[in-house]
Amino acid sequence: MTILLQAYGLTKRYGELTALDGVSLTVSDGEFVSIIGPNGAGKTTLINILTGLAPATTGRVTFKGRDIAGAGPVALARLGMARSFQLVNVFPALTVAETLAVAVCGKRGRGRRFWSALAADRAVHAEVGEIAAVFGLADRLSRPARTLPQGDKKLLDVASAFALGPELILLDEPTSGVSTADKHAIMEVLVGASRRLGVTAIVQVEHDMDIVFGYSDRIVALHQGRVLADATPDEIRADVDVVATVLGKPRA
């Protein structure tokens, strides 16, 4: 496997608070990696550093061998990394088609003349239609994004990240706020979309352990800003300390 993402000794301090303390992580192509841990463990801080939204106090992050400190999400998208957010960030005034087209035009370097590119470029329309079909949104293209049910808003947010054409995608709570019945359906769409659209690795932060254990190749457990375990789902289940500390189940 080819290593895509590496983090070396990441520390993040906010005054007296240490949110991350020496976290190291490797993600290779073909992997689905879940980051778990209780509230305050440092999960979102880690994702923010990995995707350039926050600088590390100390440590280093490389993507495809390139140091990406300070690169920012736009530059990272051009390198092949994209992210979705826990809180859905759809543009409320835009339709589903227009929301996806923002990402498609951004990938094609047409952000500054987005509306003219959208109106004139059949390739943009075709790619928007393809992505919408993959995510089950093809019959909602003309619908304002703000009117979608929460599950579809989640899919649209993730679809926008996929529309950037990433090799690696980072998902922050992809099923939060979605009914239990819809969670597995959303994950099946995400996994299927990754195969069809060329995404080679997925990293997710997720609280739902059924989702974590059902889809992950590897699980990274954080506790108090440190890596408590980095192992397969079976190894995590067998580790009584991790189960007790992170999953909140008492030791036998």
Is the pLDDT score of 111 beyond 60? no
Superfamily (CATH) of domain 3-90+148-245: P-loop containing nucleotide triphosphate hydrolases (3.40.50.300)
CA atoms within 13 A on the CB side of 184: 6
**Confidence bin at 243 (pLDDT 50/70/90):** confident
* Per-residue model confidence (pLDDT) at position 40: 87
* Per-residue model confidence (pLDDT) at position 32: 96
Of 36, 22, 30, residue with least CA distance to 5: 30
CA atoms within 13 A on the CB side of 199: 30
Give residue limits of the domains in the chain: 3-90+148-245
Average pLDDT over residues 169-191: 85
Q: Which SS3 state, helix, strand or coil, does residue 111 take?
A: helix
Average pLDDT over residues 160-172: 89
Average pLDDT over residues 154-158: 86
Q: How far apart are CA 163 and CA 107, in angstroms?
A: 8
pLDDT in tens, 114-153: 555 555 577 788 889 999 999 999 999 999 988 988 888 8
pLDDT in tens, 61-91: 999 999 988 787 778 888 899 888 654 566 7
Q: Which SS3 state, helix, strand or coil, does residue 23 take?
A: strand
Q: How far apart are CA 150 and CA 78, in angstroms?
A: 29
Greater model confidence, 246 or 219: 219
